[in-house]
Each structure stands twice: as C-alpha cells, then as structure tokens.
C-alpha cells in the first residue's frame, strides 16, 4: 500500500508542478493537496516543500459501494529547471499516514553568532517541520520521533534575527544540529546598512571546519582573514573560531560594531576542513550570508569528491561595487586534499555553478593552530 501510494504521489506531484502549483486532482480518486505546505530554500537550485497531502480514494468498509480517503503526507525536494520553468521532483519522503516510521531524533543547539559557543541562547523557539520546541539554559532543544530525510529548520529568539535552513535527518542516532543567530539590527552586534556577515555551522564531524575570507586591499593586493589573522586588512574580522564541532564560525564585514565603507572589489569566502573525521560533504554544514537590511543567502556543500582533511569548499564571491552596492556569485566548488605539498597546482574541482572562481590553493599552505 505504501509503495503504491508513494508512486502515485510522485507521478501526481510531477504532473501538478508541470501545470499549476495548487490543489489539483490528477487522477480519478487521487487528489494532491498543497493547501498546508511549507517551502524552504535548500540551496541555489533546490527547494523543499513539506506536508504535501495525497488523498487516495479507497472502498469504505462500513458503507459498501461508497469510498473514503486515505491521507498520506510527504516532503518533496524539487529542482528548478530554467529551460522549462518547471519544478522537477528530485526526492520524496513520506512523513505521515499508513506505514510511516518516525524514527529520527535531533539535538539542536542555538548560539549567538557573534559570541559563539560561549553564548548559547535559552528560550529560543526551534521548529523542525511541524514540530516546535524551546531551548533550555544550555541553548538546546531536543526532538524525537521525527521523519527521516530533508526537513526545514527555523529558529527565532527575542532581540535576534530569525533564521531558516534545512537539515537531513537520519535514524541511525541523534542528529546534532546547530544554528547561530545574529543580534537584531540596532542592538549590540547587529548588522547595519552596508555590512554583511557569514555564519558557518555544521554537525558533530568533522570537529574543526574553518572560515576563510579574502578580499581587496587598497594597494591592489589581497588580505586573508582566518583564525591566524582574524582582523588583517581592516575590512573584515573573524568574530569567533570554533574547534570542537557545531560552530559557529562567523566573519563580519566591516567588523562587528564598526562603521565605514568597504573597499570595492571581490570578497571570496571558503571553508577549510582543518581536522576531524568525515568530510565537508556529509558534515551537515550550512553557510548563511546575511546583509544589513535583511537579505539572506543559504549555501550547502555541493555534490563532489571529498577527500577529508584539507578539502576546501569555495562557497561564494561577493563583489562590492564602487557605488557601495554588492552582488553575490555562488561558486560552490571543491578542491580536494589541499596541503603544503599540493598548493603549486590546482587539484580537480567540482564544476560548481559556473560563477566566480575558486580560492587560490596557496591560501591554505602550512596552516597550524
């Protein structure tokens, strides 16, 4: 029953999205109901639509000759096809109805993005899918009996800017998740007009992912902000460096609680796998790019070949123009195994998005904490 219904849902959802994104009957006895769905952007090309209801007609055992409906709920991942302007279903996960097994657990820790792990946020509201919990004094909210697969994760707290992203939940053990919130505009640490901030969070492994921002110097060279030189260049600053899982790693430009115009040119942000098991690709990493005024971008690691330690994920380029406006190019490419012995040549990289360029491998030579 479950497999048949899921196949009907997959076909029906594809048909509906090819026409109109609304309530629609696509086959006799089957209705796709989008009236209570929630949409969350996963990255630059994918969107997660949660709580798609599939109503399937079945014989009513209490009234022979009539029918009733069986309702199943699904989360569906779609990819936008610019050629056809259609949303193409990429994955489907049943989350409610007959046969569903909600076996995932999640432990979500919420931090102040500027002060990091030293400042967990209590009384923050955390929502995964349709479930909401409040963080305790340690900034932790716990969930049980969640459906596995992709889910939306949204967080709000008093005097902080709300944030939303997605997470992939597994049933093999508690899923360790983290979100870091920026202080609200106008409060200490809040972003002002003309500022931007990158916030990196991830799961339990690898234990140490590092943020690297390079940018234009007035003399035509490039500076490099990272844990070893957190304020060099006077354009950006590393607010917090995390070395023991979850994050956050936060870079703010111009530095937090300062004012001034940014030097025009290209600012390039990358994530380096410094130490620990697993790899960036399966770390649950999320990079959120925030601007003063509220505009936000979310980035997740691309499909690529990951080696492990010394992998580099070039996430985006941000160009500050002479008039102070800015534009963002998602690079989203990976270089594998960058180390002191390999910085003289470019390693194979993922195709990425075709925008911008990867960071120079020499940037990551002989990094020691």
124-151 pLDDT per residue, tens: 999 999 999 999 999 999 999 999 999 9
Distance CA 353, CA 330 (A): 6
Per the model's pLDDT, the better-predicted residue between 87 and 3 turns out to be: 87
What's the confidence (pLDDT) of residue 28? 59
Q: Which range scores top for mean pLDDT: 36-45, 144-153, 342-351?
A: 144-153
Question: 182: helix, coil or strand?
Answer: coil
Sequence-distant (≥ 6) Cβ neighbours of residue 359 within 8 angstroms? 212, 214, 268, 270, 312, 314, 335
Confidence label for 99 from pLDDT (cuts 50, 70 and 90): confident
- Segment 313-336 shows an average pLDDT of 93
- Is the pLDDT reported for residue 18 higher than 90? no
Question: Do 273 and 177 share a structural domain?
Answer: no
Nearest in space to 146 (alpha carbons), one of 245, 75, 79, 89? 75
- Is the pLDDT reported for residue 100 higher than 90? no
Question: Do 257 and 126 share a structural domain?
Answer: no
Whether residue 118 contacts residue 109, with contact meaning beta carbons closer than 8 Å, is answered with no
Long-range contacts (CB closer than 8 Å, 24 or more residues apart) made by 91-94? 91/149, 91/150, 92/6, 92/9, 92/10, 92/13, 93/147, 93/148, 93/149, 93/150, 94/2, 94/6, 94/147
Nearest in space to 40 (alpha carbons), one of 136, 179, 134, 152? 152
Confidence label for 360 from pLDDT (cuts 50, 70 and 90): confident
What's the confidence (pLDDT) of residue 7? 52
Question: Do 105 and 92 share a structural domain?
Answer: no
Give the tens place of pLDDT for each residue, 254-312. Answer: 999 888 889 999 999 999 999 999 999 999 999 999 999 889 999 999 988 999 999 99
Q: The domain containing residue 55 runs over which residues?
A: 2-96
Give the tens place of pLDDT for each residue, 163-213. Answer: 999 999 999 989 999 999 999 988 889 999 899 999 999 999 999 999 999
Question: Do 277 and 211 share a structural domain?
Answer: yes
In eight-state DSSP terms, residue 346 is P
Question: Do 220 and 336 share a structural domain?
Answer: yes
The predicted model scores a pTM of: 0.85
Nearest in space to 179 (alpha carbons), one of 248, 267, 107, 274? 248
Question: Do 196 and 271 share a structural domain?
Answer: yes
Number of structural domains the chain divides into: 3
Whether residue 147 contacts residue 104, with contact meaning beta carbons closer than 8 Å, is answered with yes
Where among 129, 164, 181 does a domain terminate?
Answer: 181
What's the confidence (pLDDT) of residue 178? 97
- Is the pLDDT reported for residue 35 higher than 70? yes
Question: Do 193 and 163 share a structural domain?
Answer: no
Confidence label for 338 from pLDDT (cuts 50, 70 and 90): confident
Question: Do 84 and 31 share a structural domain?
Answer: yes
What's the gap between Cα 314 and its chain centre?
15
Where among 136, 154, 181 does a domain terminate?
Answer: 181
Among 27-41, 225-239, 252-266, 301-315, which stretch is predicted with the lowest mean pLDDT?
27-41
Question: Do 206 and 117 share a structural domain?
Answer: no
Residue keyed to tokens 């492990």: 308
What's the confidence (pLDDT) of residue 88? 92
Nearest in space to 363 (alpha carbons), one of 297, 272, 291? 272
Sequence-distant (≥ 6) Cβ neighbours of residue 124 within 8 angstroms? 110, 134, 135, 139, 141, 155, 156, 157, 160, 181
Distance CA 177, CA 107 (A): 6
Question: Do 327 and 208 share a structural domain?
Answer: yes
Sign, Cα dihedral of 108, 113, 117, 123: negative
Distance CA 276, CA 293 (A): 36
Where among 116, 147, 181 does a domain terminate?
Answer: 181
State the average pLDDT for the chain: 87
Confidence label for 336 from pLDDT (cuts 50, 70 and 90): confident
In eight-state DSSP terms, residue 348 is P
Question: Do 154 and 141 share a structural domain?
Answer: yes
Sequence-distant (≥ 6) Cβ neighbours of residue 292 within 8 angstroms? 185, 191, 192, 193, 194, 195, 196
Copy the structure tokens of residue 323.
């008039």
């Amino acid at each position: 029953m479950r497999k048949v219904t899921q196949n009907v849902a997959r076909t029906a959802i594809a048909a509906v999205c090819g026409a109109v994104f609304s309530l629609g009957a696509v086959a006799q006895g089957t209705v796709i109901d989008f009236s209570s769905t929630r949409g969350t952007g996963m990255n630059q090309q994918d969107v997660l639509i949660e709580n798609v209801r599939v109503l399937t007609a079945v014989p009513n055992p209490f009234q022979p000759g009539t029918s009733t409906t069986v309702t199943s709920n699904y989360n569906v991942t779609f990819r936008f096809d610019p050629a056809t302007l259609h949303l193409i279903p990429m994955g489907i996960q049943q989350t409610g109805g007959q046969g569903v097994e909600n076996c995932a657990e999640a432990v979500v820790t919420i931090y102040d993005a500027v002060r990091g792990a030293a400042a967990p946020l209590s009384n923050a509201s955390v929502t995964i899918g349709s479930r909401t919990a409040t963080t305790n004094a340690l900034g932790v909210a716990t969930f049980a009996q969640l459906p596995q697969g992709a889910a939306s994760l949204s967080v709000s707290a008093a005097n902080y800017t709300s944030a939303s992203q997605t997470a992939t939940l597994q049933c093999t053990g508690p899923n360790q998740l983290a979100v870091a919130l920026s202080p609200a505009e106008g409060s200490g640490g809040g972003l002002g007009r003309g500022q931007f901030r990158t916030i990196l969070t991830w799961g339990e492994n690898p234990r140490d992912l590092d943020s690297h921002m390079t940018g234009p110097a007035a003399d035509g060279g490039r500076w490099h902000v990272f844990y070893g030189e957190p304020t060099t260049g006077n354009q950006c600053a590393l607010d917090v460096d995390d070395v023991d899982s979850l994050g956050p790693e936060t870079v703010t430009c111009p530095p937090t609680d300062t004012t001034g115009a940014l030097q025009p040119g290209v600012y390039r942000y990358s994530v380096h796998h410094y130490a620990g098991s697993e790899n960036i690709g399966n770390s649950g990493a999320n990079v959120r790019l925030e601007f003063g005024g509220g505009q936000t971008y979310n980035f997740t690691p691309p499909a690529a070949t990951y080696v492990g330690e010394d992998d580099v994920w070039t996430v985006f380029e941000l160009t500050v123009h002479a008039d102070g406006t800015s534009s963002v190019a998602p690079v989203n490419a990976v270089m594998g195994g960058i180390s002191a012995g390999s910085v003289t040549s470019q390693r194979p990289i993922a195709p990425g998005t075709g925008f911008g360029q990867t960071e120079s491998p020499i940037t990551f030579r002989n990094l020691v904490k």
